[in-house]
């Protein structure tokens, strides 16, 4: 690591500490040339896959867009925010563990439906009605029977 003060490449680590969450390391360094000290942080660089829409377009995975889907489905439902956060974490972790560069939007939608089904049946039906484009009452009856 180059010294930010003099640009010399001879720096040494004098102290390392893992942060409270355990997802980054703080390192204190000292420059061998100018004796100045500085701090660096080391974190894992993870890339979420791109989402491939049904029309073929691609867009970056957007956690906030996913949160909005949950929020709309759970509108005025007695589900704590922590449940949504945990569901988002599970979906994100699942996407990372796949190791794919792209994921079909349909798979992402199915993951949301699975999480909503576990959380709140009404929210699940709300989401499914839009996601699966219910056209009449029979579609609702079929979804309710599946529950």
* Measured distance CA(15)–CA(139) in Å, rounded: 62
Bigger pLDDT: 128 vs 42: 42
The phi and psi torsions of 134 (rounded to 5 degrees) equal: -60, 135
Q: What is the pLDDT of residue 145?
A: 74
All structural domains of the chain with their residue ranges: 11-43, 50-146
Say what percent of the chain tops pLDDT 70. Answer: 97
The dihedral region occupied by 4, where left means phi > 0, alpha psi between -120 and 50, and beta the remainder, is: alpha
CB 11 within 8 A of CB 22: no
Q: pTM of this prediction?
A: 0.64
DSSP string across 3-27: -TTT--S-EEEEEEEE-TTSSEEEE
Q: What is the pLDDT of residue 50?
A: 94
CB 31 within 8 A of CB 5: yes
């Amino acid at each position: 690591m180059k010294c930010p003060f003099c640009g010399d490449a001879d720096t040494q680590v004098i102290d390392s500490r893992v942060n409270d969450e355990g997802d980054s390391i703080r390192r204190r360094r000292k420059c061998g040339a100018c004796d100045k000290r500085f701090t660096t942080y080391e974190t894992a660089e993870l890339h979420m896959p791109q989402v491939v829409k049904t029309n073929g377009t691609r867009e970056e995975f957007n956690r906030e867009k996913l949160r909005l889907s949950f929020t709309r489905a759970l509108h005025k439902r007695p589900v704590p925010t922590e449940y949504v956060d945990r569901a988002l974490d599970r979906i994100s972790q699942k996407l990372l563990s796949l190791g794919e560069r792209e994921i079909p939007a349909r798979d992402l939608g199915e993951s949301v439906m699975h999480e909503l089904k576990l959380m709140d049946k009404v929210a699940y039906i709300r989401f499914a009605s839009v996601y699966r484009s219910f056209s009449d009452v029979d579609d609702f009856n079929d979804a309710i029977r599946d529950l």
